Amino acid sequence: MIRIGHLFRLTRIQWVMLRHGMDDIVLALPLFRPLRFLVVFMPWRWARRYPPRGVRIRRALEDLGPIFVKFGQILSTRRDLLPGDIVDELSRLQDRVPPFSGEEARSIVARSYGASLETVFQHFETEPMASASIAQVHAATLLDGTSVVVKVVRPGIGSVIQRDLGLLYAAAHLAERYIPEAHRLHPVHIIREFDKTIHDELDLLREAANGSLLRRNFIESDLLYVPAVYWRHTGRDVMVQERIHGIQVNDVETLRRHGINLKVLAERGVEIFFTQVFRDSFFHADMHPGNVFVDPDRPGDLPRYIGVDFGIMGTLAPVDHHYLAANFLAFFNRDYRRVAELHVESGWVPAGTRVDEFESAIRTVCEPIFERPLHEISFGALLLRLFQTGRRFNMEVQPQLVLLQKTLLNVEGLGRQLYPDLDLWATAKPFLERWMREQVGVRGVLKKIRRQLPEWSERLPDLPNRLDHGLEDLAAARIELQRQAEEMARLRTEMRRANRRTVAGIVAAALLITGSLILGAEPPARAGDIPWYGWALGAATAAALLTAVTPSRRG
């Protein structure tokens, strides 16, 4: 339900939408279709030509402010839900947000520390280095002379987020209620994911912890460098991190001037991605050019990346590891039957899906692509076609894979920008084959044993007692089963005896009743006084009664 507090914001949103020519999009909704005739009364539409709808949506989100920009960035990952032209435009959204006052930033930092800045920093640059939706970054120098950057959360951003999220939730509920196609798009689910993501980014302690873990994962690697976090000076609203100096990854001309091998750089980016996903199950999920740099001091054939901004990270469970790697290898080997089987086994498509039909649909998508030279294959285009095919088979969106898909598309885009002939498939396939061998081969078994050995050694001294207790429990269970079997046999015997007594009583009663009916109202004094036809009728009556009271063997 839209509250009174939302009305002013809603009015602003409507004005921005009209200014960017989005009235036709609004009037296309089923709820407003009866009002489409009003278009002829809109003077601004008579002569003005508007750009494509994707461009209009992107510009409107940029004008509406940081929360809507961030929401558009999240939507740009959902090629499984939105038309391709809109997703392509939303992927161009950047955090071009005006900075807030440097003096206000100093106040926030001092309030977080409970002390003046002079007790922590020799120098704090008032002018920000960068400004984004959630926070902005200032250069500073610690008392010991260490150069650092200080990330500060925007003042009042929490209340702005809550206000706009309330409005987005209200709009999503209305869409599900009035738009027939909304059940497939799951708008409330999308807003809920966005809610979680943006609240995670508000907590800089969480981001600092993410950065520390990623740094440990690559501390001995020459592929990726992650700046150190200064925990003594980091809190929920302020994070202090080592300052790095690098070349932005999309600045190709500067990279060339420094003699960096762009082909190797692109291939190393792919290797970093697959290492994070399959070795560590923890990957940087916001790898746009503003967050990725190249170390200028490592030119030549061993270039090194530098990563920053760890507010959005992805994780995967071991079972997802297995299915992902197996799917990738099956795709590389063009084993579409195995791809279809893996989708059913993993539950990504309903259990009743016909594997042969799904295999045929996947082959139809993939074969035309694989017939092209490998360096011309776009993984993004392949994913888009597969999403469209999967919808026919009720393939469910896997939330744990959404960030992975987005990150892989970013990696491919960056790699091809650096080296247009980048062969993502050829670069990734050896890594995946090696990873699968390590997981399911002898090395994988030894690795699991080594990992579980401390737990086994802890339980080993107690093993004799556990075995003794287990044998005692087994003996007690055997005795109890024997007792129950004897009790069941006794009960069956008693039931047979009772049945025999019941049968005899029924036969006697039937004979007496029948004889009485034949001879009149008075019963015979002796059984010998009953004529033969009385005995026959009594026997028939007894048989009928027995049939009625005897349980069926089929039951």
Is there a contact between 131 and 95 (Cβ–Cβ < 8 Å)? yes
Is there a contact between 450 and 297 (Cβ–Cβ < 8 Å)? no
Among 95, 286, 309, 423, the one annotated catalytic: 286
Distances (CA, A) of 263 to 191, 269, 302, 306, 415: 39, 10, 11, 17, 8
Q: What angle do helix axes 157-178 and 4-19 make, rounded to 10 degrees?
A: 80
Edge-to-edge strands, sheet with 305-307: 224-225, 305-307, 292-294, 247-248
- Sign of the Cα torsion 452, 458, 462, 466 reads negative
**Torsion of Cα atoms, 461 then 466 then 471 then 473, to 10°:** 170
Q: Residue 413 has which token pair?
A: 């885009």
Rounded to whole angstroms, the Cα distance separating 366 from 344 reads: 18
**Torsion of Cα atoms, 513 then 516 then 517 then 520, to 10°:** -160
How many residues are given for the chain?
555
- Mark whether 286 is an active-site residue: yes
Q: Residue 381 has which token pair?
A: 């285009």
**15 burial level (CB within 10 Å; 0-12, 13-18, 19+):** exposed
Is there a contact between 506 and 494 (Cβ–Cβ < 8 Å)? no
Rounded to whole angstroms, the Cα distance separating 72 from 58 reads: 8
Rounded to whole angstroms, the Cα distance separating 295 from 258 reads: 10
Q: What ranges in 140-203 are assigned the alpha helix state H?
A: 157-178, 182-185, 187-202
> Catalytic site residues?
286
